[in-house]
Amino acid sequence: MASGDNWFVNWADFPSVSPIDKTRWAAHWLAKRPGGTYAYDVAVALSDDAGSSWSAPIVPHTDGTPTEHGFVSLFPWDDDVGVLWLDGRQMTADHASGHGGEGGMTLRSARLGARGQISDARRVDDLVCDCCQTDVAIAGDGPVAVYRNRTPEEIRDIYLARTVDGHWQPGTPVADDGWEINGCPVNGPAVVAQDNDVAVAWFTAANDQPRVRAAFSDDGGATFAAAVDIDSERPTGRVDIEMLDKTTAVVSWIAGGTQGHDQIALRVIGRDGAMGPKRQVAPIATSRASGFPQMIRLGEELVFAWTDTTGETSQVRTATVSIQAIR
């Protein structure tokens, strides 16, 4: 569907293919541009035949600056494709590590029409963490986005921005963890929704205590119940989340292990805070090369995909887990 010799390839900021509806799909990757090692654009391609053919790539941002643009979420937005990304147009030119800098990484969005036309370009948040993944779910009133915010005091907690009448509202904290860290932890949140029931999972190491946490909302993300610790035994994070029903979710993450290997784990959690046992899906290396495991719900199964680096060559592996078996 796409190839190139100018792609920006990164262990944490990876391409995606997202079904928007039954026949309309969207995909994205990152393409380098002149101006420096960390000068690259978002490229989005659209398909109207379920991936059989694809449009020419579209760049959803029009600033033209040789800066970072990435950590993209693609989602249905009314009759359009929504694109959400981290945008470095306001950052200093010598910002080379992706983990700090004097400028401000912003969170921005735009819509892509059926022919790729760009509309409704907006700034969602004017100061966010530099290199943590974003995620979007569709709640009852429209898209809700989760991301790692950044304050001038270097507090980097998870925020949710929701849409009302098609317009982004200011982001608000999902929980007040108070994680002060002078640099990006490269560990973004995940969100899922069924109508106005929303669940968010994330990693924090506030007070030097690594934890995977989750919280529920029953009003479309306007407010959240108290967060619950899913794993406080020094997890790595890299979370994902899916709904089992309106009051129950399943969280996946990389949990601590031994001898250089962690494990992909999952745990069922209810809105009332009740949790099932921690279950192991598969072992995984602790290195960056192992990437970010992905989890989706497919009918009555959970499907996992991850990078296995335990052999001589890296491989993408998959596994399925019966939902009935973990309830």
Instruction: Please state, in angstroms and rounded to a whole number, the distance separating the CA atoms of residues 270 and 205.
Output: 23
Please provide residue 180's backbone torsions phi and psi, each rounded to the nearest 5 degrees. Answer: -95, 115
- Mean pLDDT for 150-171 is 98
Q: Looking at 37-46, 79-88, 90-99, which range is the least confident one?
A: 90-99
Q: What is the pLDDT of residues 270-295, one digit of tens each?
A: 999 999 999 999 999 888 999 999 99
Residue 281: predicted pLDDT: 97
Instruction: Please state, in angstroms and rounded to a whole number, the distance separating the CA atoms of residues 30 and 36.
Output: 14
Residue 326: predicted pLDDT: 97
Q: What is the pLDDT of residues 218-258, one digit of tens each?
A: 999 999 999 999 999 999 999 999 999 999 999 999 999 87
pLDDT above 50 for 70: yes
The angle at the Cα of 11, spanning 198 to 40, to the nearest 5 degrees, equals: 95
Strands 80-87 and 106-112: antiparallel
List of domains in the chain: 1-127 (no CATH), 132-151+184-326 (2.120.10.10)
Contacts for 144-147 with beta carbons within 8 Å, 24 or more apart? 144/191, 144/193, 144/198, 144/220, 144/221, 145/73, 145/84, 145/107, 145/109, 145/171, 145/191, 146/174, 146/188, 146/189, 146/190, 146/191, 146/200, 146/202, 147/86, 147/107, 147/171, 147/188, 147/189
Residue 69: predicted pLDDT: 98
Please provide residue 325's backbone torsions phi and psi, each rounded to the nearest 5 degrees. Answer: -70, -20
Instruction: Please state, in angstroms and rounded to a whole number, the distance separating the CA atoms of residues 34 and 91.
Output: 16
pLDDT above 80 for 94: no
Instruction: Please state, in angstroms and rounded to a whole number, the distance separating the CA atoms of residues 309 and 280.
Output: 18
The angle at the Cα of 121, spanning 239 to 295, to the nearest 5 degrees, equals: 20
Residue 260: predicted pLDDT: 66
**pTM for the predicted model, two decimal places:** 0.95
pLDDT above 50 for 95: no
- Which tokens sit at 255? 């949990």
Which pLDDT band holds residue 92 (cuts at 50, 70, 90)? low
- Mean pLDDT for 200-215 is 99
Residue 287: predicted pLDDT: 87
Tokens 């109508």 belong to 195
Which pLDDT band holds residue 96 (cuts at 50, 70, 90)? very low
pLDDT above 80 for 80: yes
- Which tokens sit at 242? 């899916």
Residue 286: predicted pLDDT: 82
pLDDT above 50 for 97: no
Contact between 277 and 268 (Cβ < 8 Å): no
Which pLDDT band holds residue 86 (cuts at 50, 70, 90)? very high
Contact between 62 and 83 (Cβ < 8 Å): no
